[in-house]
A and B are shown apart, each in its own frame.
Chain A
Amino acid sequence: MNNLNIIIGREVKERVAKKSFIFTTLLTPLFMILLMALPSLIMLFSHGSKQKIVTIDKSELVLPALLKEAQDNELVAIVPAKSGATQQELIHDENYDGVLVIGPDIVSNPSNVTLYSRESSTMDVKDAVSSTVAEVVREQRMKKYNVEDIDRLLADSRVSVDIKEVRVDEEGNESDSSSTLAMALGFIMTFMLYTFLLLYGQMVMNSIIEEKNNRVLELMVSSVKPIQLMLGKIIGVGLVALIQIVVWAILVCAFVAMVMPLLIPADIATDMAAMQAGTFNAASSDVSTEMLTAISTFSNVGYLASIFGYLALFMVGGFLFYASIFAAIGASVDNAQDASNLTTFATIPIIFGLVFGMMAFQDPNSTAVIWMSMIPFTSPMVMIARIPFDIAQWQIWLSFAILIASFVGMAWFAGKVYRIGIFMYGKKPTVKDIIRWARYK
């Protein structure tokens, strides 16, 4: 037991003290935060480069509504054409990115709208124009029916619908939930887990190959039992991975708790407070419910911490299981080239895990996905993909228990292979050889 601690201590110390580890651990969250903030940063900087669309409104009905709509638009600026300017002149005017011509018969012929531009216009311009034109045309057509109080009626009928999703669990508890958000979170975590398992799993394998190659193992086995050596390596590298996750969790949570409130604009903060109080009215706000849920979830430190907690849990479970496989492979071969064939036994299931994790986003509670989140080979990735969808707790813990039990079994097998494999040089072993080693006394 004492020797195991000494081995683990060395593994952790040698890795954590490396400059490369310190850099990636500290810089990755920074990079992640930058990536999260990138869309809003782009919006911020693209303010000056709005697409300027000059509009000739021959119907003289659409332009006022279009101007109003464009006020809030981040990407498109609508400019009325100067009287007397011809279409040809405007098209060749370098000051404008495009010319919008609305036909005089727009109400009877809504397709009589043309957008001339030098570059192909973005979807945003088209969307903004077409929805506004449709709105104006609809109102104009309605007005023809001479309904009383038509203006008030129309104003009242301008609604924007945002579906607020509430998930009800088996006990009837309601919780806010947004499937897009769950998907995004699940995706980030599944992908992180996938990367961690591959990177750190192969780190275990390569470091065993290296120890075997430079024959330091020969010196070690006279003091330490091979199984202790192997477990020490696996646990040590696992602790390094855990340290990295915990540092990231702390950095991200600290960022969210201290910096995020300063970054969120005041009106969104009010909306968020309103939403938490249950008085939020989507129609009166220019932010969608979805967006607001996302922002409030991402700025909820407790929730983020719990997500990181689950990530750490399944990272540890999945790592222990897969690292045992990688350790057995590393002990069996002499060099990385020989390992490449055998590694597929570990990498293919990990990739499957990622694929099934993606499947889980479509239907997190389908039978196939539930099974995949229980089978140890795919369970870490699939389970972590399902967790943001508020699945039943017992499934999470059952999956984790199966994973740990499988680790014990796999470590037992790997230990048997390791014990023989580390003294085998030269011949590249087949799977059959490896299984035979496991049977040796």
Chain B
Amino acid sequence: MLRVENLGKRYGAGCSRCERDGAADRRCPYCGSVWGCRGIDLEVFNGEILGIVGESGSGKSSLLRCLYFDEMPTQGSARLYPYQQGTRNIFEASSQDRRAIRNRFMGMVYQNPLMGLRMAFSSSGNVAEKLIAANWFHVGSIQKRATNLLDVMEIPLARIHEAPKTFSGGMQQRVQIARALANHPPLLLLDEITSGLDLSVQARVLDLIRKIQREWQIGMIVVSHDLGVIRLLTDRTVVMRDGHIIEQGLTDQILQDPQHAFTQMLVHSLL
């Protein structure tokens, strides 16, 4: 479904030295540029959930933002099978094509609902926008699809015409998921979706994600610093630190038998 090779995102102008010294410090001592992530290689298969775990600042969200074109990577490539049968690097696509990829082949759920939702528009409108972007121009069909999705996400139908700003955090996240799923994308990106939610709401959101994955067979990348979320949702896990992948494998294997010292510390630091 998705193959990422040697992906890197640098914040700052960069210099010849930090280009050359690939495995050196995250911050270039000469120009001060910082690599958000670097040398990332990973694959996501159809219907699989890949977890990305790491401490805050390890580069998880930078990676996800690059994959959703919120930021353009400094180096590397990504091939998404539904886009030209995976023959072309999606970062080399034109800006119009990138927008089409975002709208048709990917859905994104942000940690902060403010980034993923238009708070001034209704919840059904938020779902509708994604459908309109994918050339749905029949109001009846759009309404039907939006209502179905919001119903699946357990948003009370009496409230679907209300703006998400009047909703609780958990409801906002569920509206975001409905919006991300509007076009039935083959790949869903989830960035720390349970942060800031209390445990019962977290459980409800995670149950929904599992239900969707089971029924729709969508490939997902779940970014989290919470190993509980990773354990519950994912098939395979990638562990990141200082912008690099330090360990990857089956989730059970990573959690039961971590090999890297940092992963061991992460696993054993569970409260």
Q: Do A and B come from one complex?
A: no
* A binding-site residues for B, Cβ under 8 Å: none
* B binding-site residues for A, Cβ under 8 Å: none
